[in-house]
Amino acid sequence: MSGWLLVISLVVALAAVHRPFGDYIYRVVAHKKHNVVERGVYRVVGVDPAAEQSWGVYARSVLAFSAVSILFLYLLLRFQDRLWLSLGMDPVTDHVAWNTAVSFVTNTNWQAYSGESTMGHLAQMAGLAVQNFVSAAVGIAVAVALVRGFAGRRAGTLGNFWVDLTRIVLRVLLPICVLVTLVFMIGGMVQSLSGGTDVTTLTGATQHITGGPVASQEAIKELGTNGGGFYNANSAHPFENPSVWTNWLELFLIFLIPFSLPRVFGRMTGQNRQGYAIVAVMAVLAIASIALTVGFETHGAGTVPQAVGSAMEGKETRFGVSGSAVFAAMTTLTSTGAVNSFHDSYTSLGGMMPIVNMMLGEVAPGGTGSGLYGLLILAMITVFVAGLMVGRTPEYLGKKIGAREIKLASLYFLVTPALVLIGTAAAFATGNNATALNSGPHGLSEVLYAFTSAANNNGSAFAGITVNTGWWDTATGLAMLLGRFLPLVLVLALAGSLARQRRCPSPRARSRRTSRSSSAWSSA
């Protein structure tokens, strides 16, 4: 499939579903009634689903859940050899286990290990795959909490984290994954508990064909914008991405939730036009980025691509150059980080695009939830600047953007650039950049890519660099942890601050604001 056909068909499909699917998510998070399964979950968890949480309680619930998840996953990896289905794998080493636990809980899915030689099936399905679900749900829950802050007439509360988590997992993520897993299996993905099969090839060599619960993990890997591959080769591996049409479906899933959440925002605030404005910003940035990446890769500049005749190094025959470049752009426009080709061997400008996408803050359309809250904060800063220019008190959706709000929003934006710069500088200052595979400027790019990916919770890599050393695992682990939870707490604080404000009731004033914030968007 040529790159353009791929992009156009995805645009059409997403344009068709983002509204109805957004409406569906809206009903899930706004609905008052709990079904019988959910009530069972709340009873086991021991929470009152009717209890409304302030931003502080909501944040503490998120942090407690994440802390327990990191510890649980760490222990599961450390003791996998004593549990079932370890396939004879050793316990994961302490620094790799820490890095991996943080990585999957923060929705980064940076992989300092190689799945096929490190992880048993239990660690994959009961550890990593579970975090694929819940870390995505945490992102969506926090975005919804922020939107409740904008929409809030409820005296400072943001909803209930446990209810949001449970509903997003059970009513949004799981049903889609059930459907998609079946489709992926029809497409040829492996789904078994087998440790693999030794075969004798046509020329008499031995080859170990692996098994594993791959299809079920692949579905949530893309839908939750996680990106952690069952295998080291990720979505380039034929068992994770067997054909052109599974590739299409993976790309569709990566964009599905991030592009539908602005509709949820529009519905919850009662101003659908604001939702469309956000979708439009996301779409323009995304299409521009995809077009540039495909353009750079198919143009194939650089010595080796010129010698080869095309930029085919590190790419699969079935996807070709453009099918790979589209994936590279979309995986970094979101916080996915799955790859169907290896970015390290991209042309210089083609390899720059994933870094640019991540440094943009992954807001076009961004990760599940994190994309929406990132863009809403960008919107607040835009409205604030525009308000200063026309000399009015800045407001967005009837909420005043005052000193406290803008401080929180500014801090949000400073976290990841600071982490990227400090991390990269520290790697060079301590000589740990020496683990880069490539020499010269490209070695610098490998280090910069690593910290950009970790701090922005992406998880893709210029994979030539060796990152399973103690220093790298600790440093990227910290970058992922801080890059996830500092912004997340700041968002919730902001949500709490907005939720305490009363919304300006005047419809005339509101329409004026709407048009003003729309124009602020166009200058953004």
Partner 1 sequence: MRLPSWLAHHLAALRALLVMTVILGFAYPLLFVGVGKIPGLSGKAGGSLISVGQQTVGSSLIGQSFTDADGNPVPKYFQSRPSAGDYDPTATGAGNLGPEDVIDTPDRQSLLTQVCARSLAVGKLEGVDGSRPYCTADGVGAVLAVFYRDGFTGPVTRVVSVNQTGTPFVSTYQGVTVESAQAGEDYVALGGVITPIRGEAPADPVVPADAVTASGSGLDPDISRQYARLQAARVARERGVTLDHVRELIKKNTEGGVVNVLELNIALDGGK
| 134 lies in the site for partner 1, by CB under 8 A | yes
Cβ count near 384 (within 10 Å): 21
Candidate residues 11, 13, 30, 174; the one interacting with partner 1 per rule CB under 8 A: 174
Interface positions, 48-77, toward partner 1 (CB under 8 A): 60-61, 64-65, 67-69, 72
| 193 lies in the site for partner 1, by CB under 8 A | yes
Tokens 């870390």 map to which residue? 135
Q: How far is the CB of 465 from partner 1 (least distance, A)?
A: 8
Q: How far apart are CA 181 and CA 328, in angstroms?
A: 23
Q: Which is nearer to partner 1, 194 or 514 (CB)?
A: 194
Give the torsion sign (CA, 48, 52, 58, 62). Answer: positive
DSSP 212: -
Q: How far is the CB of 386 from partner 1 (least distance, A)?
A: 40
| 80 lies in the site for partner 1, by CB under 8 A | no
Interface positions, 335-364, toward partner 1 (CB under 8 A): 339-342, 344-348, 351
> In whole angstroms, what separates CA 305 from the centre of its chain?
30
In a 13 Å sphere around the CA of 241, the CA atoms on its Cβ side amount to 30
Candidate residues 191, 226, 457, 497; the one interacting with partner 1 per rule CB under 8 A: 191
Pure H helices in 212-366: 214-223, 244-269, 272-299, 303-308, 320-333, 348-359
- For residue 517, give every residue at least 6 positions away whose Cβ sits within 8 Å of its Cβ, in sequence order, or none: 274, 277, 379, 383, 386, 396, 397
In the numeric block, which tokens belong to residue 6? 């791929």
| 523 lies in the site for partner 1, by CB under 8 A | no
Candidate residues 89, 92, 119, 125; the one interacting with partner 1 per rule CB under 8 A: 125
Q: Which is nearer to partner 1, 207 or 522 (CB)?
A: 207
Does residue 102 sit in helix, strand or coil? helix
Q: How far apart are CA 312 and CA 345, in angstroms?
A: 9
Stretch that binds partner 1, among 92-100, 233-241, 390-398, 419-427 (CB under 8 A): 233-241
Stretch that binds partner 1, among 286-294, 302-310, 360-368, 497-505 (CB under 8 A): 302-310
Q: Which is nearer to partner 1, 203 or 523 (CB)?
A: 203
Stretch that binds partner 1, among 196-204, 257-265, 361-369, 502-510 (CB under 8 A): 196-204
Q: Residue 348 in contact with residue 320, Cβ under 8 Å?
A: no
In the numeric block, which tokens belong to residue 205? 């060599």
Cβ count near 182 (within 10 Å): 14
Candidate residues 49, 195, 238, 295; the one interacting with partner 1 per rule CB under 8 A: 238
Q: How far apart are CA 53 and CA 178, in angstroms?
A: 31
| 197 lies in the site for partner 1, by CB under 8 A | yes
Interface positions, 405-464, toward partner 1 (CB under 8 A): 437-440, 442, 445, 462-464
Q: How far is the CB of 19 from partner 1 (least distance, A)?
A: 28
